[in-house]
Amino acid sequence: MISEDSAVVRPPVLRPGDTVLLVSPSGPTSPERVARGMELLTGWGLRPVPAPNAYARHGYLAGTDDLRAADLNAAFADPQVRGVICTRGGYGAQRIVDAIDMAAVRRDPKVVAGFSDITALQLALWRGARLAGVHGPGAAWRDERTSLRSAESLHAALMTTEPVTVEAVPTEETFGVRVPGRATGTLLGGNLCLIAASIGTPDLPDLTGAVLLIEDVQEPPYKVDRMLTHLRRVGALDGLAGVAVGQFTDCGDGWETTIVDVLTERLGDLGVPILGGLPIGHGPDQLTVPVGTTATLDTTTNTLQVTPAVR
């Protein structure tokens, strides 16, 4: 259990002129897909540099495990690199997290941004270095999904030290998932599939007193049920302070049971406040939140307020 931000490592805020390395710890991407992200980062005054193997490809992976791990470790070891921004998710981060040089991370903490499969990387960095991270869009930017609001949210999380506030949106499918109340605790989690996949590894965090963040994409209700049931059975959800429910995008199937039904049934009896409808995840207008810092969830104001990941 982590009860105070003093136990959390918050890396320095990014400033104009800082170099950020673009890495691909998971699935493959291309220069064409990353070009828009580089344009945004450059517009903020940052110096985005693709890692040597950022565009490598090895089947469904962005290069071999050795190459992907080498890029991450090079970023953590290079004093000129002040931030690490993942290009995309996909799959593969879990294959390399045990090769991360945690001593280098602890010597020179840097902000790490990404989401989806990058949840595995952020959980590992929390385990190995208590490093706070940024759950937000990657550099393979798509304007049709991540709007100007999404860009402004990522910019604020990376380049300011203001608290981050996300308001639940009635039009989000998960807005109806709620248990009234107010909860404060360390915000941990991210993509539900990766949280569940960390069961039995050193990376499943102790969620006692934490606010759990969950979101996912293209997982039918019965699979979400299975993941939440697994987490319940191993005791991972015992002692939670609250649950922040983000976007569950394209998670329908042919059955009458909806994703809202499953989330309500599997989470609603935990006896803690739950706030759904947060635009965090794989859906349109995705917003950015820190993970690993103190958050307050309030169903009266429909907000999740989070201490910045940077200092």
List residues with catalytic annotation.
Answer: 116, 215, 282
Pairing relationship of beta strands 274-275 and 289-291 according to DSSP bridges: unpaired
Which helix H or strand E contains 230, and what residues bound it? Answer: helix 221-233
Residue 307 to residue 65: CA distance in whole angstroms: 33
* Partner residues linked to 212 by β-bridges: 188, 243
If residue 82 lies in a helix (H) or strand (E), which one and from where to where?
A: strand 81-86
- Strands of 141-293, DSSP E: 164-167, 178-179, 182-191, 211-217, 242-249, 274-275, 289-291
CA count, 13 A, side-chain hemisphere, 171: 3
